[in-house]
Homo-oligomer: A and B are copies of this chain.
Amino acid sequence: MHIPLDRDSAQPLYQQIEAFLRQGILSGSLPPETRLPSGRQLAKNLGVNRITVERAYAELEADGLTYALMGSGTYTLPPPSPLPALTENPPAPWPLWQQELLHGDEVSEPLVPEALLHPAEHPDAISFDGGTGDPLLFPVQEFRKTLQEVLHCDGCSALEYGDSRGYAPLRTTIAQVLTSQGLRANPDHILITSGSQQSIALVAQLLLGPGDVVLVENPTYSGALDLFRSMKLRIVGIPMDKHGLQVEELEKLLQQHHPRLIYTMPNFHNPTGICLSTPRRRQVLALAERYNVPILEDDFVGDLRYEGRVQPALKALDPDGSVIYMSTFSKMLMPGLRIGFVLAEGPIYERLVRCKRVNDLASSNLMQHALAVYVTIGRYQTHQRRSCRVYRKRRDAMVTALARYLPQQIRFSVPQGGLFLWLRLPDGTSSEYVLAAACEEGVAFMPGTHFFLNRAQGEPYLRLSFATQTPSAIEEGIQRLSQALGRCMARPS
A408 CB within 8 Å of chain B: no
Contact across chains for B179 and A29 when beta carbons are under 8 A apart: yes
Stretch of A59-67, A145-153, A395-403, A481-489 on the interface side: A145-153
- The answer on a CB contact under 8 Å between B140 and A186 is no
Is the beta-carbon distance between A358 and B197 smaller than 8 angstroms?
yes
Asked if A354 and B2 make an inter-chain contact with CB atoms under 8 angstroms apart, the answer reads: no
In chain A, residues 293-349, which have Cβ atoms closer than 8 Å to a Cβ of chain B? 293-294, 309-310, 312-313, 316-317, 319-322, 334-338, 345-348
On chain B, the residues within 8 Å of A361 by CB distance are: 195, 197, 223, 338
Q: Chain B contacts of A182 at CB under 8 A? A: 1-4, 20
Chain B residue nearest to A178 in the complex (CB): B29
Asked whether any CB of chain B lies closer than 8 Å to the CB of A406, the reply is: no
Q: Is A198 an interface residue (CB 8 A)?
A: yes
**Given A138-B159, A198-B360, A321-B95, CB of A102 within 8 Å of CB of B347:** yes
User: Does A86 make an interface contact (CB < 8 A)?
Assistant: yes
Given A27-B186, A138-B156, the answer on whether A197 and B347 have CB atoms closer than 8 Å is no
**Does A454 count as interface, using CB distance less than 8 angstroms?**
no
Segment at the B interface, from A49-57, A248-256, A363-371, A443-451: A363-371
In the complex with contacts A2-B312, A294-B97, A336-B160, A194-B345 CB distance below 8 A: no
Minimum CB–CB distance from A73 to chain B (whole Å) comes to 15
Partner of A135, one of B45, B156, B312, B321: B156
Note all chain B residues with C-beta closer than 8 A to A175. Answer: 29
Residue A240 is within 8 A (CB to CB) of chain B in the complex: no
Contact of A230 with B by CB under 8 A: yes
A359 within 8 A of B: yes
* Bound form: Cα–Cα A140–B195 in Å: 25
Closest residue of B by beta carbon distance from A198: B360
* Residue ID in chain B nearest A335 by CB atoms: B161
For A185, the chain B residues whose CB sits under 8 A away are 29
* Cβ-defined contact, A337 with B4, below 8 A: no
B197 in contact with A360 (CB, 8 Å): yes
Say how far A243's CB is from chain B's closest CB, in angstroms.
17
A155 in contact (CB, < 8 A): yes
User: Which residues of the partner chain B approach A289 to less than 8 Å between Cβ atoms?
Assistant: 95
User: Is residue A11 contacting chain B, with contact meaning CB distance below 8 A?
Assistant: no
CA distance A193 to B180 in the complex (A): 35
Which among A6, A155, A313, A321 has the highest number of chain B CB atoms within 10 Å? A321
What are the residues of chain B within 8 A of A321 when measuring CB–CB? 94-95, 98
- A24 to B183 alpha-carbon distance, docked (Å): 10
Map CB proximity to B onto A54-93 as digits: 1 under 8 Å, 0 otherwise. 0000000000000000000000000000000010111011
How many angstroms between the C-alpha atoms of A5 and B319 in the bound complex? Answer: 14
Q: Is the CB of A158 closer than 8 A to any CB of chain B?
A: yes
CB-CB under 8 A from A169, the residues of chain B are: none
Also in contact, A230 and B363, with CB within 8 A (given A2-B182, A319-B90, A321-B94) = no
The minimal Cβ–Cβ distance linking A467 to chain B, given in whole angstroms, is 13
Q: Nearest Cβ distance between residue A20 and chain B, in whole angstroms? A: 7
Known: A136-B156, A337-B366, A366-B337. A184 touches B23 (CB 8 A): yes
Given A93-B320, A359-B201, A364-B367, A88-B195 contact (CB < 8 Å): no
- Whether A176 lies near B29 (C-beta < 8 A) is yes
**Complex: how many Å from CA A367 to CA B364?**
9
Instruction: Output the least CB separation between A135 and chain B (Å).
Output: 4
Interface string of A121-160 (1 = CB under 8 A from B): 0000000000010011010110110011001100111111
* Nearest CB of chain B from residue A6's CB, rounded to whole Å: 8
Which residues from chain B contact A96 at a C-beta distance below 8 Å? 292
**Neighbouring B residues of A140 by C-beta, 8 Å:** 151, 155-156, 159
CB neighbours of A362 from chain B (8 A): 338
Closest to A209 in B: B210
Q: Is A101 close to B, CB under 8 A?
A: yes
Which listed residue, B30, B186, B292, touches A95 by the CB 8 Å rule? B292
Can you list the 5 inter-chain pairs with the closest CB atoms, starting with the nearest?
Answer: A2-B182, A4-B312, A336-B365, A159-B336, A198-B360
Q: What are 18 of the A-B contact pairs (CB < 8 Å)? A: A2-B181, A30-B176, A92-B320, A95-B320, A95-B321, A96-B292, A132-B161, A144-B151, A144-B152, A147-B148, A147-B151, A148-B148, A158-B336, A159-B336, A194-B364, A197-B360, A338-B362, A360-B360
